[in-house]
Structure 1
Amino acid sequence: MKLSLLVYATLLIRGVNLGSLFIIEPWMTNDTCVSMGCDKTKSESDCVVALGQDAANNAFQKHWDTYITEQDLDDIKAYGLNTIRVPVGFWMLEDLIHDDEHFPQGGLKYLDRLAGWAADRNIYVILDLHGAPGAQDAKQPFTGQYVSEATFYTPPNYTRACKFLQFMTSRIHTTAAYRTTGMLEVVNEPQRNHPDLVSTYYATAYAQIRAIESKLNILDAHRLTIQFMDKAWGAGNAADVVGTNPKAGVAYDRHNYLKYANIAQTKDAYINASCATVLGDGGDTPTVVGEWSIAVGSKVQAQPQWDPTKEGNKEWYTRYWAAQVSAYEKGAGWVFWSWKTELGGNWRWSYKAAVAAGVIPKDLGEATGLAGC
């Protein structure tokens, strides 16, 4: 049975992103990029061009087969987490790729496998359209395409994105492996200066996902939760077109990277900002904090008092993690970025490494007491 909005409303999301699995981001996976032959490229698409389609397909399929394993899912479960957020590109549906676009092929079966692994462990899955047709932002490897101009904001590319969402909606509802996949995010981190994003794309995406579910005779209680970036992101508010009725089956996504926040670069300021986080701006509830980390500002991150490898700093990073968790759990929960990275001893972006370092406890119930909010 599909994990419905009714179930989700009682599920406190505690999860991790599987970053750089289906869309590789070189900044966080340098070793992988080197082994694949992608180390001199800026994005997934660039790597395909550099390697050639056949060699790229082989390299990426090896990556998909090995980067996240069943042991990772076992560890995620053992650490008290109940959710994974899976960033994917529209090119999972290969019929949508234009002749002048270059993306790795064969990823869908690995996505199916991952969803099945999660379902076998009763882990909830948020599927996130992270790489949109034409790229939803410029010079951002997370889109899978390092481009000088974002061209997502056109009717043809909106149509391609909606076709991807329709395809995944049907696959989720008709494929047993996706039985715990309950949330579908229509686009990750869009640019902020496109007014038709909400009025056209958000409205159409919502309507077309629901149309597929109606065609499949999906009961309201088993429909997908459709997720949008929240008003605080600054690209408009989906509530303007989908309403705030809980029966609409909508959730919102807040990305709260305090590393980039306009706050003083002091430890007290980071804790205070964490504790003071308020969700639900513009009626955007329920809100999941779908990306966050325990990284700090670039100007201070290398200074001794912030060095994650120094034993004396670990206690503070534990409190920083706990303060954020305490705030985010006043909403619908959180999904840390990311599960694993290749940043050496810098576990500020890696949940797995931070647990191994003793910074994040396996008992998530400790967060409130550790936060000091």
Structure 2
Amino acid sequence: MYVRTRVVVISICLLMCCLGTSDGRVNGGFKIKAVNLGGWLVTEGWIKPSLFDGIPNKDLLDGKGVQFKSLRTGKYVCAESGGGSIIVANRTAASGWETFKLWRINASMFNFRVFNKQFVGLDTAGNGVDAVAVSNTPGHHSNIFEILRDNNDQSRVRIRASNGFFLQAKTEESVTADYGGGGNGWGDDDPSVFVMKTVGHSEGEFQVTNGYGPEKAVQVMKEHWNTFIVEDDFKFISTTRLNAVRIPVGWWIASDPNPPPPYVGGSLQALDNAFLWAQKYGVKVIIDLHAAPGSQNGFEHSSSRDGSREWGTTDDNIKQTVDIIEFLTARYANSPSLYAVELINEPLSPGVSLNTITKYYKAGYDAVRKHSDAYVVMSNRLGTAEPRELFPLASGLKGTVIDVHYYNLFSDVFDNMTVQQNIDFIRTNRTAELNHIATTNGPLTFVGEWVAEWQVQGARKEDYQRFGKGQLEVYGRATFGWAYWTLRNVNNHWSLEWMIKNGYINL
């Protein structure tokens, strides 16, 4: 009886070891072949443009750059010195100082943020009508402006200030809020009429939720979360050779169900569903903090309000981010599907210093280890010339992964490449890059984002097949694995679902 019991105990221990290995934790794992669930819990408008269709004045969302040309002076409005001084209308061309970033209050009311990050307002300490850019906070009543558009020509606008009067360019050196007209047409001789040009583009989580407003946003976002990714998607993933999903999440998910405005509750329930579906269909999950508080790179996919990057500027900011990582890890630590936690996505260099990101990664790693032995993924900084800069930290920690993103896009290097040159670049350059960051006792390597899309015009299906096959072969050598960007997208080649179903990619 003793012998039998001992045999049973040993067998159970061996089984648990095997399960631990197949579970992919730091005591042993398998290579990840994953797909990103991009555009789901962190909005990216280019992935699903229709999400923004119901927003009034949707061309005037947070972060949109606007330039105003006075019809009276024929010159552009400018924040003198980029901010901290007066507003003038004397520039013959528009660039940074002549571009005002919108902070949207509602469909027609805005704050205007200038190049040096001050806000346009009225000189309340002076005559109360001069337009200046001296305030560092947007909340003052005197900093709110209303944009009224000509129904026949949407580019022609008037700007009503908080005192009830319209801005006018009396001269090139004076923009004041003291024009009481506005009902006399939209003629070229009217000093309160400006031609407005919009520049830049930002359609992230902040833009969609603030654009719809608190009541409508709840309805729109819950409908999106409940339909964009569903259980059948995990079933489909399980029928391919994919074995994992990388799920981008935003920092506000840790405050669910009542995140700070303009964000709305509900994304945490969607993530809970994803873990249930992943467990049901045997799919592993990589949680990816895609949008950190204040934005780590200024892009819409990090939910930046106006292109600014504020993450990592204070110790409180870093602590808040660590708390978010700990919250997510603790919530899913007992799920057999939790495979890895990615501490942050694409921090921007040099905006985020190596010292800052190293400090955060160590604290984030410790937060994960309090609850789980899941892999800890550390994303390389965008723009850094040293892809091994995280090795001194990561090599001394068990179960770490370095995430690199490879696109044959977003650089003029690829503009004129032929089909074969793109494929050769993958086989030669990307192979060398992966070899450079692969070490025997160092962190594992992960191509966390790649796509079978390029700058080549008029490529045939066979060309895409060769391009995809080349990437699969090279990125398959990454010691942790890879993840395609993304499962579903209105742009077909960015949708792995479409690429698989239409025979462009064979896993």
Q: Does 1:94 align with 2:255?
A: yes
Written as runs of structure 1 = structure 2, the 5 A alignment for 1:178-327 is 178-193=335-350, 194-210=353-369, 212-213=370-371, 223-230=373-380, 234=384, 237-244=389-396, 248-260=398-410, 262-263=413-414, 264-276=416-428, 277-278=430-431, 279=434, 281-282=436-437, 283=439, 285-297=443-455, 300=456, 303-304=457-458, 306=459, 313-327=460-474
Quote the offset at 1:6 in angstroms: 4.3
Aligned to 1:11: 30
Aligned to 2:212: 51
Percent identity between matched residues is 25
Gaps (5+ residues) in structure 1?
A: 307-312, 365-373
Amino acid aligned to 1:291:
E
Partners of 2:295 and 2:384 lie apart in 1 by 18
Decide which structure has the larger Cα Rg and report it.
2
Larger fraction in helix: 1
Q: Deviations over 1:71-103 (max 9, x none)?
A: 11111111221110000001001179885x521
Native 8 Å contact 1:16 1:351 kept in 2: yes
Q: Deviations over 1:275-307 (max 9, x none)?
A: 22231534464111110001112xx4xx33x2x
Written as runs of structure 1 = structure 2, the 5 A alignment for 1:51-70 is 51-70=212-231
Gaps (5+ residues) in structure 2?
A: 1-18, 62-202
Partners of 1:166 and 1:195 lie apart in 2 by 22
Higher relative contact order (CA closer than 8 Å, sequence separation 6+): 1
Q: Give RMSD over aligned pairs.
A: 2.5
Larger fraction in strand: 2
Aligned to 1:166: 326
Partners of 1:97 and 1:244 lie apart in 2 by 38
The DSSP-based 3-state class of the residue aligned with 1:259 is coil
Native 8 Å contact 1:255 1:289 kept in 2: yes
Quote the offset at 1:268 in angstroms: 1.1
Native 8 Å contact 2:36 2:247 kept in 1: yes
Quote the offset at 1:37 in angstroms: 7.3
Quote the offset at 1:226 in angstroms: 0.5
Q: Deviations over 1:50-81 (max 9, x none)?
A: 22223212211111111111111111111221
TM-aligned CA distance change 1:235 to 1:201, over 3 Å: farther
Candidates 499, 502, 505, aligned match of 1:354: 499
The DSSP-based 3-state class of the residue aligned with 2:488 is coil
Quote the offset at 1:244 in angstroms: 4.7
TM-aligned CA distance change 1:197 to 1:281, over 3 Å: farther
Aligned to 1:370: none
Partners of 1:62 and 1:38 lie apart in 2 by 21
Q: Does 1:121 align with 2:275?
A: no
Candidates 152, 157, 165, aligned match of 2:311: 152
Task: Please identify, of 154-163 and 192-201, the stretch whose mean Cα deviation from structure 2 is larger.
Answer: 192-201
Native 8 Å contact 2:291 2:301 kept in 1: yes
Native 8 Å contact 1:43 1:144 kept in 2: yes
